[in-house]
Amino acid sequence: MRSNDDYDIKCEMATVEERLYAFKDKVEEMVRRQIELERRLHDAELCVMENAELQRKYDELLTENFKLKTQLMQLNNSTDSSTTSVST
């Protein structure tokens, strides 16, 4: 009877060990996924910061473009009135 109990205990221990290794594998996979997600999050945060900087530069360029267009229109108006004065 004792050998039967020993066999049952060994089988149960093997099952527990197998389940522990499976659990360990799952935990390791979760850690790898967590590291990958943290890396992606970091990359996304860098993209957000870069995007904000690009948006700021874009806004500056729009403002500069508007100023230059205004100056060009004023120059054209000034040239038109000078041409009209000279031709009269």
pLDDT tens per residue across span 68-88: 999 999 999 988 777 666 555
* Torsional sign, CA 57, 61, 63, 64: positive
Instruction: Output the pLDDT for position 69.
Output: 98
pLDDT (mean) for 11-28: 97
Q: CA 81 to CA 8: how far, in whole Å?
A: 107
Q: CA 46 to CA 81: how far, in whole Å?
A: 52
Is the residue at 88 inside a domain? no
Is the residue at 85 inside a domain? no
DSSP 51: H
Instruction: Output the pLDDT for position 21.
Output: 97
Is the residue at 70 inside a domain? yes
Instruction: Report the number of distinct structural domains present in the chain.
Output: 1
Q: CA 44 to CA 78: how far, in whole Å?
A: 50
Is the residue at 87 inside a domain? no
Give residue 51's domain range. 1-80
